[in-house]
Amino acid sequence: MDPVFAPAGVLLAAAVLEIALARFLSRAAKGWLACLGAGLATLPVVAMAAKVLHGDVLTATGLAWDSGIPIAYHIDGLSVLFMLIATGIGTAILLYAVRYMEHEEEGTTRFYVLMLVFIAGLVVLVCSANLLVAYVAWEVVGLCSYFLVGFWYKQEAGPNGARKVLVITHLAGYGLFAAILLLYMRTGSFLWTDAGPAFSTGIALLMLVAAMGKSVLFPLHTWIPEAMNAPTPVSALLHSACYVKAGVYLIARMYSIGPWHPALGNLLLLVGCLTMLIGAVFAVAQTDLKRLLAFSTVSQLGYIVTGLALGTDLGVAAGLYYTVSHALFKGTLFLCAGAVQHAAGTRDLRKLGGLSGRMPVTTAVWLVAAAAIAGVPFTTGFVAKWLLFDAALEAKQVLVVFVAWAVSLVTVFYFLKATVSVFFGSGAPEVRAEHIHEVAPSMRLGMGVLGALCVVFGVAPQVLMRVVVEPAVRALGFTWQIQMTWFGVVTGSGAVGVTAGAAAVVAGAALGAAAFGFTHAPVRGPVLVFTGGDPLPEDEALGAVDFTEIAEAAFAPVYALDPDPLYLRIWRGVMGVAESAQDFAVRVFEEHPVATVVGGATVLCCGVWLL
Amino acid sequence: MSELTLIGLFAGLALAVALYALSLPQGGLSWWGLAALTVALVLAGRAAGPSWGGVICLDFAELAAAALVWREGTDDAVRAARRYLWAIAPAIVCTIAGQALVGHGVTPPAAPMDKIALCLLLIGFALKLGLIPFYFWLPPVAAAAPPMTTALIVSVVDIATFAELWELRHTASWVFTEHAAIWMGIALLSMGGGALLALAQRELKRMLAFSTIADLGLLLTGVVAGSPVGLAGAQIGAVSHALSKVILFGAVGLAERRIAQPVTLDTRGLAARLPLVGAAFVIGALGFIGVPPGLGFAGYWRLYVSGAEYGGPALIGALFLVAALDLLCYVRAIHRVWLGPAQVVVNGAPAALAQATVMVLAVGIILLGLYPGMFTTAVGFAVAAVR
């Protein structure tokens, strides 16, 4: 077997072992086995990263998946980037899951098998040159997420979320399938490497619909908050490493399938900007920590897609760097949220509070990841945003810069709300209980590693750029002219504008820090807010609910953009048509079989004679 | 697909039905006798190939299946069996007369015999397969008969009839090519109408019956298109259809036996009490509607390719629309009936052998779907159109 098949092979072998050894392994041992499998799968990916560093492409053809349909791999820089995310971050998440899932009384084998197949699905998707096999992998990823979101299938919330995941993403996935069929009709081949000029704007639009469903782009984003009633490792894998990144991969890959019409880029820019805005505004109104993170994923995916839509080397680099950065900080944030829920038994921001004293490591890791998502310097988030602003300025998309900047402010706002509500102030009586303590070391290690990488690649982003992002950008047919130094300082064109912008941001941050200092806000105890005069009485201090109410009042028109009521109307319309058809069929066909046979036969005979 | 493959498929399905019925009795000795007779006639019909002997064996198999429904003895079953017979009797006459006129010839008989033959074949096969608007017998049969009786009818007898149709596509292709619009019309009507009507059902066995109609409509598009990829799609789809329907009716039958009432959309949370049966239903349902990696997808992608070649974007759009309706229908059934908190009293454990049978079939369609080459290469679906 060609070594390029090793990552998926190792993951699937681990899944088979999980099933075979299920009776003999403890719950923790199953977790360690899964973690080991994902870790081992990362090794060949690292080896492949070294091979594609200089623009080489690894190709291989395996056995025929179906008669005449071989499993054909085309591994370039883009494939490696996504494989590293899937296997690397997947390993950290599985490490975290060992102790997290240890207390589950049933279903741990099912959980680990699905997690491993989920990761393997993404690996096959990003490696496959055969679009039909890629579509199968795309749907395998979708099905795994469906089963994982519905992991607690005996409860109400999990299956409901899973249902929405399946319906929205599978229906959107028909776009990809239709695009594959159209490409096949034009080229007679399922290989995307054969597409060339056959890749029209219409086909690209169909692929875009599929990507929008997977990558929670507006208006197909509404499944993601409902998917939060899953075990936290699932949420982390869904949001950071695998699921939402599948759509990003598809959008990026479209650059190497064929030429884009500029109008498509503009459409994607619009979708990206709307998504980042709507995701952020909806995040502000959440009082459930994981739902807040879910909407922040929507918003961040908007950033990523905006970067890719710019269509310049800098824009694509920004989008891809942002992809890695988001995988790191969002994975960390979800694992922290899971640790909080694990320890406190709730993720309700109205009840949580004051956990920094009891969970110092989790707090520290959360703060690092929250700083990254907010774009604080020395983190990957800052570098990603910096690159994006630079790319947008260079492409003369000033409006995009403005929107991205405004959304950054909103992001800081809702992460401040989440951070203060969970870790500072004081919580409800049940979360003040003595039993709340820091999570197990392996869980801390899992989220700590990801959090640390947010800083490492924030301080030395040129390493990530050189080793991972540059080969990916080159694989998409762009040239590489980006000169990046320590801390993400870009020294190319457009850097002056971005530097001025960054200066304004730093000044704003300094001002905020000063304001925070002047209020003398205590670390623990009720959060006091500087009101411009005397502090508010203790019981009137602003909390998560107040933030939510303010947001709901301020952004009321935006909340009307929730597409769920429209989907519900469509569903009711379809059901109405189905019930009318049923009434008609019963009255006409089922109650009068003789007339049906005679009438139907007459109509058919007339048709045969007349046509 | 060779006769041997079909015979193997039907024999395998009959074995699965027998194992299920051993563990979860579907009737007395008369049931076993009639079920064995039905299967034997289908196998004999397939062994005889495209000949008068084969046609007559399959027609008698239809009659034996109707008797299988009748022997249940309840008012609903007798009424359903009467309807079945009322459909089968003219269908047998029409198909025999039609095939006599066609004479398995590659050239059409002189006018107007060609049109008469076509009309007879259209009506005969539409009645036998329960295509819309001639479907009136299938939902009552599904609701009234024991699950394995229905499984035998839709998975063995119906698929054997469908095999007759694709043989006709080879031996007398003019029947399809010269009036393709009529065939495609009835296929689309059955596909869309069946899917829509399935969505409106509250009782699961009726829903499964309507989805059978929808799926047969889809398979018919491949036969009408007539390309190698379309015919291969129809044949693989038929195999997946047969396997999935045994799983689906089997799972519903297991649940019904334990809750002692029909399974409807108001029966909630069955999987909490019958997890393996629930898993089998979910796998069978998703595989049946062509969600990868079920075996159904191996047939569906070929049917979609042939649809794109034959009818362009309009036909593809129609196929996707029906696929969306199927998805909504089955996902609703999965979530309303099987998942979520248990809200129904389940007495005792499910019959072990019956449960094992549906689970083995469910695992089979997943494995075959993950690596369909294992099946398609073995039975010789080298699709020339695919590079």
Give the structural domain span for B157.
3-376
Residue B205 belongs to a domain: yes
Return the structure tokens found at A63.
């056995």
Give the Cα separation of A429 and A418 in Å (integer): 19
- Long-range residue pairs from A521-524, CB within 8 A, at least 24 positions apart, any chain: A521/A424, A523/A356, A523/A424, A524/A354, A524/A356, A524/A357, A524/A424, A524/A425, A524/A426
Question: pLDDT tens across A426-454, in order?
Answer: 777 766 666 788 888 998 998 999 999 99
The mean per-residue pLDDT over the stretch A360-384 comes to 94
Question: Is the CB of A608 less than 8 angstroms away from the CB of B305?
Answer: no
pLDDT-based confidence at residue A238 (cuts at 50, 70, 90) = confident
Does the pLDDT of residue A596 top 50, yes or no?
yes
CA distances from A500 to A375, A389, A506 (A): 16, 11, 10
* Amino acid A503: pLDDT: 73
What DSSP string describes A351-392? Answer: T---TTTT-HHHHHHHHHHHHHHHT-TTSHHHHHHHHHHHHH
- Sign of the Cα pseudo-torsion (A466, A73, A116, A239, in order): positive
Are the beta carbons of B119 and A190 separated by less than 8 Å? no
Q: How far apart are CA B63 and CA B329, in angstroms?
A: 31
CA atoms within 13 A of residue A271's CA, in its CB half-sphere: 26
Looking only at the bridges linking them, the beta strands covering A69-75 and A58-66 are antiparallel
- Rounded CA-CA distance A27/A107 in Å is 9
In A85-205, the DSSP E strands lie at: none
Give the span between the Cα atoms of A323 and A300, in whole angstroms: 9
Cα separation, A314 vs A383, whole angstroms: 12
Which residues does chain A have within 8 Å of residue B127's beta carbon, measured at their own beta carbons? 597
Interface test with A, best of B301, B302, B377 (most A CBs within 10 A): B301
Q: What is the mean pLDDT of chain B?
A: 92
Query: What's the token pair of residue A112?
Result: 């680990």
* pLDDT > 70? residue A202: yes
- Name the residue among A575, A589, A594 with its Cβ closest to that of B135: A589
Burial class (CB in 10 A: 0-12, 13-18, 19+), B141: buried
Domain ranges in chain A are 307-476+541-561, 564-610
Percent of the residues in chain A that have a pLDDT greater than 70, as a whole number: 92
Task: Give domain status of residue B221, yes or no.
Answer: yes
Does the pLDDT value for residue A357 go beyond 90?
no
* Consecutive H or E run containing A545: helix A544-554
B351: DSSP letter: P
Q: Residues of B numbered 52-81 whose beta carbons fall under 8 angstroms of chain A's beta carbons: which are they?
A: none
Q: How far apart are CA A340 and CA A235, in angstroms?
A: 14
With an 8 Å Cβ cutoff, is B98 touching chain A? no
Closest CA to A130 of A170, A183, A81: A183
CA distance B154 to chain A (A): 19
For residue B112, cis peptide bond before it (omega within 30 degrees of 0): yes
- What is the C-alpha to C-alpha distance for residues A123 and A125, in angstroms, rounded to an integer? 5
Q: What residues pair up with A484 in beta bridges, in sequence order?
A: A490
Contact indicator for A377, A506 with CB cutoff of 8 Å? yes
Nearest CA in chain A to B386: A68
DSSP A96: H
In order of A40, A88, A309, the CA distances from A9 in angstroms are: 10, 16, 34
Give tens-digit pLDDT for A554-585. 777 888 888 999 999 999 999 999 999 999 99
Give Cα separations from A173 to A199, A257, B20 (angstroms).
18, 18, 36
pLDDT above 90 coverage of chain A, percent: 67
Where on the phi/psi map is residue A562: left (φ > 0), alpha (ψ -120 to 50), or beta?
beta
CB-based contact B179 A611, cutoff 8 Å: yes
- Please give the structure tokens belonging to residue B56: 């007559």
Residue B369 within any structural domain of the chain: yes
Q: pLDDT value at position A171?
A: 95
Q: What is the largest CA-CA distance in chain A?
A: 92
The percent of residues above 70 in pLDDT, for chain B, comes to: 97
Which H or E element spans position A336? helix A313-344
Q: What does the pLDDT read at residue B152?
A: 96
Strand partners of residue A490: A484
Task: Give the Cα separation of B20 and B149 in Å (integer).
Answer: 11
For residue A495, what pLDDT band results from cuts at 50, 70 and 90?
A: low
Q: Looking at residue B387, what is its pLDDT? A: 37
Q: How confident is the model at residue B384 (pLDDT cuts 50, 70, 90)?
A: very low
Query: Residue holding tokens 């053809």?
Result: A61
Shortest distance, CA B351 to any CA of chain A (angstroms): 22
Asked if residue B384 belongs to a domain, the reply is no
Mutation target to probe the B interface, by most B beta carbons within 10 A, among A114, A140, A177 is A177
Provide mean pLDDT across the span B105-125: 86
Residue of A145, A174, A192, A568 to mutate for B, most B C-beta atoms under 10 A? A174
In whole angstroms, give the CA distance from residue B219 to residue B237: 7
pLDDT of residue A276: 95
Eight-state DSSP code of residue A541: S
Q: Is B374's Cβ below 8 Å from some Cβ in A?
A: no
Nearest CB neighbour to B293, from listed A136, A166, A596: A136
Half-sphere exposure of B311 (CA within 13 A, CB side): 21
Q: Which residue of B has its CA nearest to A185?
A: B309
Note the pLDDT tens digit of each residue in B354-376: 999 999 999 999 999 998 888 88
Report the pLDDT averaged over residues A280-298.
93
Contact A574 B199 (CB under 8 A): yes
Helix (H) or strand (E) holding A72: strand A69-75
Name the closest residue on chain B to residue A12, using Cα atoms. B370
CA proximity to B362, closest of B272, B246, B255 = B246
What per-residue confidence (pLDDT) applies to A537? 58
Q: Which of residues 190-209 of B touch A (CB under 8 A)?
A: 193, 196-197, 199-201
The answer on pLDDT for B124 being more than 60 is: yes
Instruction: Compute the mean pLDDT over every residue in chain A, rounded to the nearest whole number.
Output: 89
Which of these, A418, A170, A435, lies nearest to A294 by C-alpha position? A418
3-state secondary structure at position B378: coil
Phi-psi region of A420 (alpha: psi -120 to 50; beta: other; left: phi over 0): alpha
Shortest alpha-carbon distance between residue B172 and chain A (Å)? 17
Min CA distance, B64 vs chain A (Å)?
21
Whether the CB of B113 is below 8 Å from some CB of chain A: the reply is no
Q: Do A163 and B298 touch (CB under 8 A)?
A: no
Contact (CB<8Å) A611/B339:
no
Q: Which residue of A has its CA nearest to B282?
A: A147
Residue of B127, B178, B196, B310 to mutate, interface with A, max A Cβ within 10 Å: B196
Contact B377 A190 (CB under 8 A): no
In the three-class reduction of DSSP (H, G, I as helix; E, B as strand; rest coil), residue A68 is classed as coil
What is the per-residue pLDDT for A580?
96
Judge residue A99's burial from the number of C-beta atoms within 10 Å of its C-beta, 0-12 exposed, 13-18 middle, 19 or more buried. buried
Q: How many CB pairs under 8 A join A and B?
A: 165
Question: Does A163 contact B331 at a Cβ distance shorter than 8 Å?
Answer: yes
Least confident range from A50-59, A176-185, A256-265: namely A256-265
Q: A560 at the B interface (CB within 8 A)?
A: no
Nearest residue on chain B to A605, alpha-carbon basis:
B119
CB contact under 8 A, B200 and A177: no
What mean pLDDT comes out for the span A482-502? 70
**Closest to B376 (Cβ–Cβ): which among A66, A159, A597?**
A66
ipTM: 0.94
pLDDT for A512 beyond 80: no
B68: closest CA among B135, B126, B14, B134? B14
- Determine the residue of chain A that is closest to B298 in CA distance: A66
Would you state the structure tokens that stand for residue A150, as one six-digit string? 């519905």
* 3-state SS string for A22-49: CCCCCHHHHHHHHHHHHHHHHHHHHHHH
Are B200 and A581 inside 8 Å of each other by CB?
yes
Contacts of A128 in chain B (CB under 8 A): none
Split at pLDDT 50, 70, 90, the class of B385 is very low
Are B222 and B306 in contact, with CB atoms under 8 Å apart?
A: yes
Q: Does A154 touch chain B (CB under 8 A)?
A: yes
Residue A576 Cα distances to A152, A164, A571, A579, angstroms: 32, 20, 8, 5
B 342-361 residues inside an 8 A Cβ radius of A = 342
Residues 58-77 (A) with a CB less than 8 A from some CB of B: 63-69
The structure's pTM equals: 0.92
Pair B303, A185: CB distance under 8 Å: no
Percent of chain B, pLDDT > 90?
Answer: 79
Of residues B123, B136, B301, nearest to A601 (C-beta): B123
Domains held by chain B: number:
1
Instruction: Flag whether pLDDT at A527 surpasses 60.
Output: no
Residues of B in contact with A65 (CB under 8 A): 371-373
CB within 8 Å of B265: residues ≥ 6 apart: B202, B204, B332, B333, B336, B337
Residue type, B375: F
Task: Report the alpha-carbon distance of residue B48 to residue B127 in Å, rounded.
Answer: 23
pLDDT tens digits, one per residue of A107-154: 999 999 999 999 999 999 999 999 999 999 999 999 999 999 999 999
Q: Is residue B385 part of a domain?
A: no
For B279-314, the pLDDT digits (tens) are 999 999 999 999 999 999 999 999 999 999 999 889
DSSP-assigned beta bridge partners for residue A130: A191
Contact partners, residue A539, CB within 8 Å, separation at least 6: none
Question: Chain B closest CA to A30's CA: distance in Å?
Answer: 21
Chain A contact for B85 (CB, 8 A cutoff): no
User: What 8-state DSSP symbol labels residue B335?
Assistant: I
The Cα–Cα gap between A436 and A420 comes to 18
Chain A residues close to B298, C-beta within 8 Å: 66
User: B297, A189: Cβ pair inside 8 Å?
Assistant: no
Q: Is any Cβ of chain A less than 8 angstroms from the Cβ of B387? A: yes
Q: In the structure, what pLDDT confidence band is assigned to residue A521 with cuts at 50, 70 and 90?
A: low
Measured between CA atoms, how close is A108 to chain B, in angstroms?
15
Contact B134 A174 (CB under 8 A): no
CB < 8 Å to A163, chain B: 331, 334-335
Q: Which residue of B has its CA nearest to A138?
A: B292
Asked if residue A68 lies in contact with residue A414, where contact means CB atoms within 8 angstroms, the answer is no
Return the structure tokens found at A541: 């201090």
Instruction: Say how many CA atoms lie within 13 Å of B336 toward its Cβ.
Output: 16
For residue B86, being part of any structural domain is answered with yes
Q: How far is residue B108's CA from residue B86's CA, in Å, rounded to a whole number?
A: 30
Supply A291's token pair. Answer: 């739902």
Report residue A258's pLDDT band, with 50, 70 and 90 as the boundaries: confident
Q: Which of residues 129-148 of A touch B (CB under 8 A)?
A: 132, 135-136, 139-140, 143
Which of chain A's residues have a Cβ under 8 Å away from the Cβ of B304? 177, 181
User: Residue B268 pLDDT more than 50?
Assistant: yes
Q: Are A544 and A350 in contact (CB under 8 A)?
A: yes
Closest Cα in chain B, distance from residue A213 (Å):
15
| Distance, CA of A233 to CA of B71 (rounded, Å) | 54
